[in-house]
Structure 1
Amino acid sequence: MPLQQAGDPGPQTGVRTIFAFVEGQPVSAAADYLVLEVGGLGFRIFVPPSKIEELAAKPLVRLHIHMVVREDSINLYGFASEAELTAFRQLITVSGIGPKLGLAVLSTWEVNQLAQILASGDLKALTTVSGIGVKTAQRICLELKDKLKPTSSDESVGLLTNAEVALTGLGFRLNEVRPVLRGLARECSSVEELVRRALARLVGGER
């Protein structure tokens, strides 16, 4: 098997980037991007919005890069892991999924969660992402379910995914339910138990 060169996204996109990764100090952040200072230069790098706060708090950040070149812009998209980068590149091969929506998907679901959603054909979970309707969710499942595979058989991942869908369906924000669910997932044997206990914490009951 030929080696894949650094910065080469492989056959799924056919696009090369001159950056394999960028490592630098976060100096500013917005809703969907970080500015990393590298050797006196500031690189604006778009990242999944749910990761902004965590990344901006670190003294040094390394992001794996996908570059999009258009007539009027050159944009960098960065990911904390190669698995995230690969998932992003696969997502944007789907008709109707551009970089912004690809980031939104990875802001909502971790890579292994997304792989399990695709494997189970869970359209409801995919449509919790703003901008993804049923038809787009169907295309994502059809085109990527055999390409993006779960990297873990940990049952708690499936519990988390289903519980997150249930709680966001009740109106809770993902960024408030996710830390609660992660703290409880390994203590619960079913989605129902996990949702019940998470609700108790979210409304100020169980601690």
Structure 2
Amino acid sequence: MRPMHWRWLFATAITQEEYRSLIALLRGLVVSRESDSVILDVGGVGYRVFMPSAAIFALGGGEEVTVHIHTHVREDALQLFGFAEETDRAVFLALTTVTGIGPKLAMSIMSGTTREELLTAVVSADVKRLTQIPNVGKKTAQRILVELTEVFKHIEPGISERASTGGKRPKAMADVASALSNLGYRNAHIEKTIIELENMSDIPNNFDDILREALRLIR
């Protein structure tokens, strides 16, 4: 008897869009890490999840983590792409809407720079910076600018203001980030917290108050 292809197991009941939302989030133990992916043990089942390099580096072996998932369906495979934050997943999905950019290149772009640097480069129309990212040529960079500038402004509301200052943060914010690092917090958590602070409508105006608010937010 001919083996049944995995796609046909659900073909009569589940659409392509529904496939993509089958797995939206995984919480499990990091069993192993490779250069482009991790294996998560979720209830005794091992899932290979492709992730940006920085996110993989930030994960500790043997600890429980939560990963936001995009399920990508092809004719011959079902792949899981994972992100530390929902915003990273949104950036990834936005990249895949650009002509000529599939999940593999989108993940390569996110591994070649930080989210902050990517969004700043796009919002400030910095083609030169974009072409410094591995596998991004001038034409691809220009398509990203045309198709995603407004999208990225919506995904990260505070990015326009930061881009106008060359992506540099005020000294107080930089000092808070340094203090959090000295306290042992991970870079990914620090970056998320600083961005949350920058997007607040009533940001404290001195170091002590900003740090106090950062310690309340960080997780």
- Tell me which interval the TM-score lies in, with the shorter structure as reference length: 0.5 to 0.7
Q: Secondary structure at the match of 2:139?
A: helix
Q: How does 1:168-187 map to 2 (within 5 A)?
A: none
Query: Which whole-Å CA distance do the structure 1 matches of 2:157 and 2:62 have between them?
Result: 26
The one-letter amino acid paired with 1:36 is L
- 1:45 pairs with one of 40, 45, 49: 49
1:158 aligns with 2:155: no
Deviations 1:90-111 (A, max 9, x none): 0011112111211122223333
Residues 113, 133 of structure 2: 8 Å contact kept: no
Q: Percent identity?
A: 38
> What stretches of structure 1 move > 6 A for 4+ residues in a row?
none
Contact 1:17–1:66 under 8 Å retained in 2: yes
Superposed displacement of residue 159, structure 1: 3.1
SS for the counterpart of 1:66 is: strand
Counterpart Cα distance in 2 of 1:40 and 1:139: 43
Q: TM-score by structure 2 length?
A: 0.62
Matched, 1:118 2:122: yes
**2:37 is the counterpart of 1:33:** yes
Q: Give CA-to-partner distance per residue, 1:82-141, whole Å, 9 cap, x none.
A: 100000000011112111211122223333332221111101111111111000000001
Give yes or no for the alignment of 1:127 onto 2:131. Answer: yes
Which amino acid in 2 is paired with 1:78?
Answer: G
**Contact 1:78/1:85 (<8 A) preserved:** yes
Equivalent residue of 2:41, what SS?
A: strand
Please tell me whether the aligned partners of residues 68 and 89 of structure 2 are also in contact (alpha carbons under 8 angstroms): yes
How far off its partner does 1:81 sit?
0.5
| TM-aligned CA deviation for residue 56 of structure 1 | 3.9
SS in 2 for 1:145: helix
Q: How does 1:16-165 map to 2 (within 5 A)?
A: 16-57=20-61, 59-149=63-153, 150-152=156-158, 153-154=161-162, 158-159=167-168
Give the CA deviation at 1:58.
Answer: 6.4
Give 3-state SS (helix, strand or coil) of 1:147's partner.
Answer: helix
The answer for unaligned runs of 5 or more in structure 2 is 1-16, 170-186, 192-219
Amino acid at match of 2:84: A
Give the Cα separation in 2 of the matches to 1:107 and 1:126. 13
Does the Cα contact within 8 Å between 1:33 and 1:47 map onto a contact in 2?
A: yes
In structure 1, runs of 5+ residues without a counterpart are 1-13, 161-177, 183-207
Larger radius of gyration: 2
Does the Cα contact within 8 Å between 1:24 and 1:62 map onto a contact in 2? Answer: yes
Q: What is the DSSP-based 3-state SS (H/G/I as helix, E as strand, rest coil) of the residue aligned with 1:96?
A: coil
How many equivalent pairs are there? 150
